[in-house]
Amino acid sequence: KLLYHLEKEEKMPDGMCIDVEGKLWVACIDGGRIIRIDPETGKRIQTVKMPTPRITSCCFGGKDYSEMYVTSAYDGLDESTLAKEPHAGEIFKITGLGVKGIPQNFYAA
């Protein structure tokens, strides 16, 4: 079942995570954003624009899982593009989203 069809400016989906409300957060590689999708309605309900386009993954963390950590890539970018995208390859922390993530599950080996 198709959950959501990305808009042209969102480019391609990459890493994802779920919040406590059951909403899906998707890193949009080459789209420079994280989007929040309601899986019940299939609608995008939030967009967080990032300072670099190659956004690769997202996860919640911090003491109470209220911080989102976002990774980005710089591989495949030539020197002139890297000069225009100085934040490529960095890790970002986003606060103030108004929602928390779910603690990870630990499994015994």
Separation between Cα atoms, residue 7 and residue 12, nearest integer Å = 9
Angle at 29 between CA 62 and CA 78, to 5 degrees: 110
Tokens of 102: 């779910």
Strand order in the sheet with 55-61: 55-61, 67-72, 91-94
Residue 14 appears among annotated catalytic residues: yes
Residue of 14, 19, 64, 75 marked active site: 14
Separation between Cα atoms, residue 23 and residue 48, nearest integer Å = 14
The verdict on whether residue 14 carries a ligand-binding annotation is yes
Residues annotated as catalytic are: 14
Binding residues: 14
Binding residues for a divalent metal cation: 14
